[in-house]
Amino acid sequence: MRPLPSEAGLGTRAIHAGEAADPSHAYLNPIYQTASFRFDSLAESEATFAGKRAGYFYTRNGNPTIAALEAKLAALEEVGLDEPARALAFGSGMAAVSAVLLALAEAGGQIISQEALYSATYQIEATLLPRYGIGVTFVDPSDPAAVAHALDEAGPRARLVFLETPVNPTLRCIDIAAIAEITHAHGALLVVDNTFATPYGQRPLALGADVSVYSTTKFISGHGAIIGGAVVARASADFCPWLELYRKHLGAVPGPFDAWLTALGLRTLHVRMERHCANALAVARFLEAHPQVAAVHYPGLPGFPDHALAARQMTAFGGMVSFDLKGGGEAARCVLDAVRLCVITPTLGTFDTLITHPATMSHFELSPAERHRMGISDGLIRLSVGLEDAADIIADLGQALDRV
């Protein structure tokens, strides 16, 4: 396939990037559903293993279907970036996060991280990394001075700053450009979990981050059919070979079929996200006016604390909404038991509207004190707003709220 013009937009890239010309003239990229690749001679094998001949030999090390997905992911992150990007696909979002933390921090290193995170990421940082000699300092990155102070305290041990913005599940936003400037001044790297926003809504590399991390299980694949993850960085970054080495030797690769499904879902990312965002704003406005709702968390609402920041660094406000009920945990239980259209599930980012109670689902492993520090009350409900007619989503939430 001929290369895309450098000025091609995100939607064009989502459809065309990574779609290689196959000798069979297949319209869609084929699925290379194979564990290994054969050679016609020992000399051919030797040249391939030595890197003197282009080719594949074992799917854990590389596969054309996975490579096609990576090309598409990199092309999306390159919008607004003045250099090529490199993407690595992983078997899950947490495999991607783990590889980044282990490869970039190393034993003896110090990570500066926000505390309000996806529960599994927080658990890795708080309980697992210290066992491998990696220290973690938790800060509130909404205060850049706190990040600078933590980096000063870490000194030469500082390896990276880890952000998640918008935050799961409170949707609070962190100033990526400001934190990037502070991080780089201390010789460290900035990693941003961009799962909620996707490259459609926010591109961390263009804002100064060094790494974007994704759970491709969510909006990127969009259909709830696969588990996957990805890491995207500038192709020139000297740590990319380390990330690839960790993925290869830890075996954290996706299967070819999952990679193919993810790439297929990516081709409609831009049109799906446009509808997700429009529906989310309509739902947020409805909830904001409802008498049973104490607070609505959505970056697109003018009254949201981080609205001005989100408007500055995001190109769209995303499909996630959360809200606190005046009646607390009992009211939340009542709403979840009463919904008919919304699907109760711990995941997010599919074509239908998903409803979650973070205190007992996505963040259930955390203590009440930890959840309190993260802003997760018993009355908090998280919505992944789907592609249905907005009026139907609102009607379902309305009848459920009327039962409280």
Would you name the residues annotated as active-site residues? 60, 118, 193, 218
Q: How far is CA 178 from CA 85, 164, 345, in A?
A: 22, 14, 35
Phi/psi of residue 236, nearest 5 degrees = -80, -5
Distance CA 87, CA 214 (A): 11
User: In this structure, what DSSP letter does residue 52 have?
Assistant: S
Residue 39: count other Cβ atoms within 10 Å of its Cβ.
16
Distance CA 124, CA 190 (A): 18
Contact 116, 373 (CB under 8 A): yes
- Edge-to-edge strands of the sheet including 211-214? 85-90, 229-234, 211-214, 189-193, 158-164, 110-114, 135-139
Token digits of residue 31: 């699925």
Instruction: For 302-352, give the DSSP string.
Output: TTSTTHHHHHHH-SS--SEEEEEETTHHHHHHHHHHH-SSSEE-S---SSS
CA 225 to chain centre: 16
Distance CA 404, CA 395 (A): 15
Q: How far is CA 213 from CA 2, 71, 337, 359, in A?
A: 28, 15, 34, 24
Q: Between β-strands 135-139 and 110-114, what pairing exists: parallel, antiparallel or unpaired? A: parallel
Q: How many Cα atoms are found within 13 Å in the side-chain-facing hemisphere of 91?
A: 13
Distance CA 183, CA 191 (A): 10
**Kind plus residue range of the DSSP H or E element containing 220:** none
Q: Could you tell me how many residues make up the chain?
A: 404
